[in-house]
Amino acid sequence: MKKLLLPLILLSLLVTSCEDDESEKTIVQGDYPIKEYYLERSPSINVWGAGMDFVHSECKSTETDLDYEYMEEVDNFPYDIDFYVVKSYYYDDNGDLQNEGCPAMLLSSSTQGCKIGEGLEFFTNLTTITSDMIDQLAYDPVIDYSEYKDDETGFYEREGLFAALDECVIGRDFRSGVLEIPDGMTEEEVQPVYLIKTSEGAYVKFMVRTYKPAKPNEKQTLVHWQVISE
């Protein structure tokens, strides 16, 4: 028994050492281009969502038709994030029915994400993913939009829908009226930066660069991403 004790201790130390090395493992960014696209924010144009697929057969191309697609009601496009837009309705202080666009970024059921920083400079300088960042990755809760539809009007009820979206990893945090921009700073300096883990196991950094760009793109939203590793 004593003869076996020393080898067992050494083996235990070796396993622990390997686990520590794995926990400290970092992922360094590969040679992938930055992608930018203007996506329609109007629910009459972007009816079923603009799906973004970060990793595919042409993900090293600067621009490709496989990066995103405006989806149909029934669609097999393998998106990682869906830029989904509906109109929500509410009653103002006078009791009059009002409406408001409700754009949101929703993760697919097999995609994880987490906020890791803020601003375009942070996005640009981020080239290494750490185990601490990976440990924060989470799935979105399932949002059933039908639960927030008013039976009488057929409209989406704003308060309940907003509360549900605020539980999502990205949700509506990028939009004006939600994103706080301190005095003396620009939107690009405070827009959240997210780490995304795709269904393929790839890592991607993603942000909304501009929620409402200048004309002629004021009815679109500019998204910005870069694959870190496949």
Say which residues have a Cβ less than 8 Å from residue 77's Cβ, sequence separation at least 6.
51, 53, 69, 71
Report the C-alpha gap between 56 and 111 in whole angstroms.
15
For 69-87, the pLDDT digits (tens) are: 999 999 999 999 999 999 8
Q: Using CA atoms, how far apart are residues 80 and 29, in angstroms rounded to an integer?
A: 19
pTM score = 0.87
Nearest to 100 by CA among 148, 142, 162: 162
Please give the single-letter amino acid code of residue 139: Y
How many Cα neighbours within 13 Å face the side chain of 45?
A: 9
pLDDT tens digits, 142-190: 999 999 988 877 789 999 999 999 999 999 999 998 999 999 999 999 9
Who has greater pLDDT, 20 or 61?
61
24: confidence class by pLDDT, cuts 50, 70, 90: low
Give the mean pLDDT of 48-52. Answer: 96
CA quadruple 211, 117, 224, 39: dihedral sign? negative
